[in-house]
Amino acid sequence: MTPIQRLKFSRTADVEFVKTLKARVAEYFAEKQITKHGNAGMVVKTVSILLLYLVPLGFVISGFVSHPLLLFILWVMMAVGMIGIGMSIMHDANHGSYSNNPKVNKALGYLINIVGGSAIVWKIQHNVLHHSFTNIDGHDGDIDTGGILRLSPNTKQLWIHRLQAFYAWFLYGMMTINWATFKDFLQIFDFRKRGLTVKGRGEFSLQVTRMTIAKLLYWGVVLALPLWLNPAAWWVTLLFFLTMHFIAGVFSAIVFQSAHVVPDAECPMAPEDGKVEVSWFVHQLRTTCNFSPKSRIFSWYVGGLNYQIEHHLFPNISHVHYRKLSKIVQATAKEYGIPYNVYPNFMIVVWEHTKHLWRLGNSKATVSA
């Protein structure tokens, strides 16, 4: 993989656009006299979503519920809560936008561990690589699938990619279970080689130890205890556990993929000299898309990730503000002739993503900018 240190975005291009956009966003918060972080509604959401995950887990572990149909409902509820924790709580927290208190952000960021992930790996994979080098092959880890999927026209095409529009959904469903098992370990050692983790050997070993303990606790509480204490057949518990992960994986993957792996999202080549001609702000607008801007309930649940443009431009601002900020960003982009891509609803963008997977798998034509 290309060393990420080589890429530098232009600081002289799009200066007026960037300056104007930042000033208008700052003016919005100044006029409203509100914080850029979360609000009381965010706290209510946090409690609600945590209960949606933890209460069903408690019933499963207690053994009070053992009928397969009722157990299935509980595990599905956990999947809904699991998605909400990832998208609406820990996502803001790990970006430092949930609270103006770093300790609160750090604590809530670790909630990814209770759904099988790793806060350490997430911050590098998502915050550093994906947000810095969105849709640039060899730099953005979110489009690097090791060859099993072709998510960029700049990635080598293999014969198996001709069917990726069909088998991608199974792989999406395996996403969170992969995090919970081996992927986080593979990534943290890869990040170590690339100089993205802590420098000291002792510190790195401590990180790996903490991550291992967190994984063992997750598997112990969420799978081992239900297998031990719930009277349902072991295979029923295991099947529903995997079902929970499959639901969470498919939904989470498609929300993120719908913002970047669609026809309107560009996939620029990494320049040989490492100098990107546009500003980082314009790069984010070109490589990112919004969807379902009118669906407030959907936006509430996915943590404003349907406003991916605003999230990528201002990841340090809580998602509770994205809907209002989107009007400012869209108007400013139009004023300066910069693309602002929006799909009207979730079903349309999912269909466009599916068709895009087919095109990427069946055509060698490069469609990047």
Among 47-51, 58-62, 207-211, the least confident range: 207-211
Condensed to tens digits (0 to 9), the pLDDT of residues 95-139 reads: 999 999 999 999 999 999 999 999 888 888 887 778 888 999 888
Locate the domains of the chain by residue range: 4-145+157-362
Q: How confident is the model at residue 201 (pLDDT cuts 50, 70, 90)?
A: low
27 φ, ψ (degrees, to nearest 5): -65, -40
Q: What is the mean pLDDT of residues 192-204?
A: 74
Average pLDDT of the chain is 92
The pLDDT value recorded for residue 369 is 38
Condensed to tens digits (0 to 9), the pLDDT of residues 275-290 reads: 889 999 999 999 999 9
The residue ranking higher by pLDDT, 83 or 186, is 83
pLDDT at 200 exceeding the cut of 70: no
**DSSP-based three-state secondary structure for 99:** coil
Give residues with Cβ within 8 angstroms of 349, minimum separation 6.
Answer: 258, 262, 289, 291, 292, 343
Report yes or no: 289 and 258 within 8 Å, Cβ to Cβ. yes
Percent of the chain predicted with pLDDT > 90: 77
> Which ranges of 179-303 would DSSP assign to H, the alpha helix?
184-193, 201-219, 225-229, 234-260, 280-287, 296-301
pLDDT at 228 exceeding the cut of 80: yes
Please give the model's pTM, rounded to 2 decimal places.
Answer: 0.91
Condensed to tens digits (0 to 9), the pLDDT of residues 33-45 reads: 999 999 999 999 9
Q: What is the mean pLDDT of residues 251-264?
A: 94
The pLDDT value recorded for residue 188 is 87
* C-alpha 19, offset from chain centre: 28
